[in-house]
Amino acid sequence: MSDFFLIGSILSPYGKDGAVKISSFSDQPDRFVKLKKVYIDFFGDKKEFLIEKVSEHKEFLSVKFKNFDSAEDAEVLAGKNIFVDDQGIIKLPEGTYFVHDVIGSRVYRNNKEFGTLTDVLNYPANDVYVIEDTEGKEILIPAVKDFIKSYDPDKKILVLTPGDEFYENDED
């Protein structure tokens, strides 16, 4: 059984030839150009779709799937999520990780367990880690080297830089 990785979602039909407008969740949206197939989720079941054509537009991408030849055909795909299997996953540069790889990581600061990484928010300047601390509070930490001492992907351990200056809560 293969793992599936979420890479985007289908927003709506695009044009009359069966293409769809997609929202890419990838930092490298051009990755769609290299894909031959993707999987689309229908009620928890992943169905394979062959890609005929990918077009890059100013603000989005459009994808034409095999056997989808009209806007009416493509309508059934609106709102569906797009996945790749482990064969379609892109290779990342050293020191960068997929969101699904870091979620659930234990987080340490000053040699003590600080909490668990529960989500990654994507902002224009940089990603932000959402960490639930050991008291159940949500802490937001920029995912930049100034705040991250190390990450061990095999053990899923994220070590924050030492000190308290980054983590002061204005409400206390």
pLDDT at 145: 85
* pTM, 2 dp: 0.59
| pLDDT tens-place values along the chain, 172 residues long | 458 888 889 999 999 999 999 988 776 667 788 889 999 999 888 999 999 999 988 888 899 999 999 999 999 999 999 988 877 666 666 777 777 778 899 999 988 999 999 988 878 888 889 999 989 999 999 988 888 899 988 899 999 988 655 554 544 4
- Class at the top of the CATH hierarchy for domain 99-160: mainly beta
**DSSP-derived secondary structure letter, 119:** E
What is the DSSP secondary-structure string of 56-90? Answer: E-SS-EEEEETT--SHHHHHTTTT-EEEEETTTPP
Per-residue pLDDT, 43: 87
Domain ranges of the chain: 4-85, 99-160
Which stretches does DSSP call E strand in the chain?
A: 4-14, 19-24, 37-42, 45-56, 61-65, 81-85, 106-109, 112-122, 127-133, 138-142, 148-152, 157-160
Please report where in the chains the tokens 């600080």 appear, as a residue. 114
Question: Which DSSP category does 161 fall into?
Answer: P
Q: How far apart are the first and last CA of the chain?
A: 49
pLDDT at 164: 57
pLDDT of residue 170: 45
Q: For domain 4-85, which architecture applies?
A: Beta Barrel (2.40)
> Which pLDDT does position 47 carry in this prediction?
95
Q: How far apart are alpha carbons 36 and 63 in whole angstroms?
A: 11
